[in-house]
Structure 1
C-alpha cells in the first residue's frame, strides 16, 4: 500500500478539482467540457506532487476513471488513508512557544483529527487573543494576535473562501536595519473566525506562509 503523502491543503486542492468534476457530471455538461475539466484536474493535481512515486501518480491518474458523482464521492473517501497528519505537538511545547502568556489555555489536542490540519489555531475569548501554531520546515512557530470579530462575512486571507471573519492583528518581530529601539508595527489580516472551517478549505499555504513571514520573518 502507498504510504501517506497527501497533506491537508493538498487534499483540499484535490477535493476542489474533484468537486468541480462532480458538478460537471451531475449537470450533464457537454462531454468535451467534462473531459477538459478532468484533464485539467489531473494535470494541476500532479503539479502538487513534483516528486511523486509511480504508485502516487497512479492514485491521481484514477481521476480519469471517474464518470459519475458517486465515483467522485468514493474517490475522495478513498484518498483519506493517504493523508499525512499534522505533526503532533505536546501541550508543554505549545506553552514554550508563548512564554509571556500566563495560564495559556491550549486546545483539546486529543480531540483533533490531525489529517485535516494545516495550522493549529484557537481563540481565548477572555482576552480576545488568537493563538496560532505552525510547523515550518520542522520548526515550531507560535503567533499571538488580537482577535476582533467583524460579525460579517468575507474572504479569508488564508483560505480565500467566504465565511465569518475576524480581524487578527499581530505585532511584527522584524525590524528595519535602522529602526529605533521603540519601533512598533502591527500586521492585520482578515481570517476565518472558525479555524477548523479554514483548515478544511485552505488549498495553498502561500498566504499562510506570507502572513507568518510578515510577523516573524
Structure 2
C-alpha cells in the first residue's frame, strides 16, 4: 500500500518542474544544457521536502529520465497515490472555529478533492468576508477577514502567482483592550491559489499573525 508523503504544495513544485523541463526539451538541442536542466529540476523537487526515504527520493528523481509529454504525464499520475490529503475535517469542527457566526455558510465538503488543498477557504458574498482554515501542528486554525476586490492583477502573498487580487484585512487583538488590523493581497479565487502554491511559509506566517 502506498504511504502518502507528498503535500499539495510539494506536488505543485513537481508539476512546475515537469512543465519547465518539458519546455526545455522542446526548445533546446544542446545535450549538456539539457542534462544540467534535468538534474536541476530533480534537485528543486527534492529540496521541497524536509525528509525523504531513499526510495521516495529515487521515485521523485525519475524525472531526469523522461523525454516526452506522455512520460511526464505518467510520472505525475504515478505520484498521485502518494499525495497526502488535507486532514479530515467536519462541519462541526469548522463551526467551532468561528463561534461568532451562528449561520456560517460553509462549502460542500463532500465535493472537495482534499488531495489538492493546502488551505481551505471560501467567501461569504453576502457579508464580504473571507474564511480560511489551515491545519498547523495537529490542529486547525481559523481566521476571517474582510475581502475587497481590487480589479487588478498582482502577486498573491500565498502562491506568488500574477493573478486577479483582492485585499484581505484581518482584525487582530493587539492587547487586552486594543485591536489592530493586518492586510495582504491574495488571490480572488482560492482554488487556483491552491493549485499554484509551492511554499507554505508566507501563508503560515500570515495565518499565525492573524490569529493573535
Same fold (TM over 0.5): yes
Change (3 A) 1:171 1:31: same
Q: TM-score, normalised by structure 1?
A: 0.93
For residues 132-171 of structure 1, give each alpha carbon's deviation from its aligned partner in whole angstroms, at most 9, with x where no partner exists. Answer: 0000011110001001111111110100001111111001
Paired residues, number: 212
Q: Whole-Å Cα distance in 1 between the matches of residues 208 and 50 of structure 2?
A: 24
Structure 2: runs of 5 or more not aligned: none
Q: What TM-score comes out, normalization by structure 2 length?
A: 0.95
Q: Measure the CA separation in 1 of the matches of 2:139 and 2:37.
A: 38
Which residue in the other structure is 1:36 paired with? 36
1:210 partnered with 2:205: yes
Greater mean alpha carbon deviation, residues 19-28 or residues 29-38: 29-38
2:190 to 191, 195, 199: 195
Checking the alignment, whether the CA contact within 8 Å between 2:155 and 2:162 is kept in structure 1 is yes
Partners of 1:148 and 1:166 within 8 A in 2: yes
Q: Do 2:2 and 2:81's aligned partners in 1 also have CA atoms closer than 8 Å?
A: no
Please state how far the C-alpha of 1:29 moved relative to its aligned partner. 4.1
Post-superposition shift, 1:68? 2.2
Superposition RMSD in Å: 1.4
**Counterparts of 2:14 and 2:135, CA distance in 1:** 22
Counterparts of 1:140 and 1:161, CA distance in 2: 25
1:26·1:69 contact (CA, 8 Å) conserved in 2?
no
Q: How much has 1:2 moved relative to structure 2?
A: 3.8
Unaligned stretches of 5+ in structure 1? none
SS at match of 1:141: strand
CA positional deviation for 1:48:
2.4
- For residues 120 and 161 of structure 2, what CA distance do their matches in structure 1 show? 18
Q: Please say if 1:118 is aligned against 2:113.
A: no
Q: After alignment, is 193-202 or 206-215 more displaced?
A: 206-215
Aligned mates of 2:163, 2:179 — CA distance in 1: 31
> Deviations along 1:65-116, whole A, 9 cap, x unmatched?
1122322222112211111110111001100000011200011100000000
CA contact (8 A) 1:167 1:189 kept: yes
Residue 152 of structure 1 corresponds to 152
Quickly say closer, same or farther: Cα 1:168–1:50, change in 2 above 3 A.
closer
CA distance in 1, matches of 2:57, 2:66: 16
**Equivalent position of 1:20 in the other structure:** 20
Equivalent residue runs for 1:96-111 within 5 Å: 96-111=96-111
- Check conservation: 1:85, 1:115, Cα contact below 8 A: yes
**Are 2:185 and 1:183 equivalent residues in the alignment?**
no
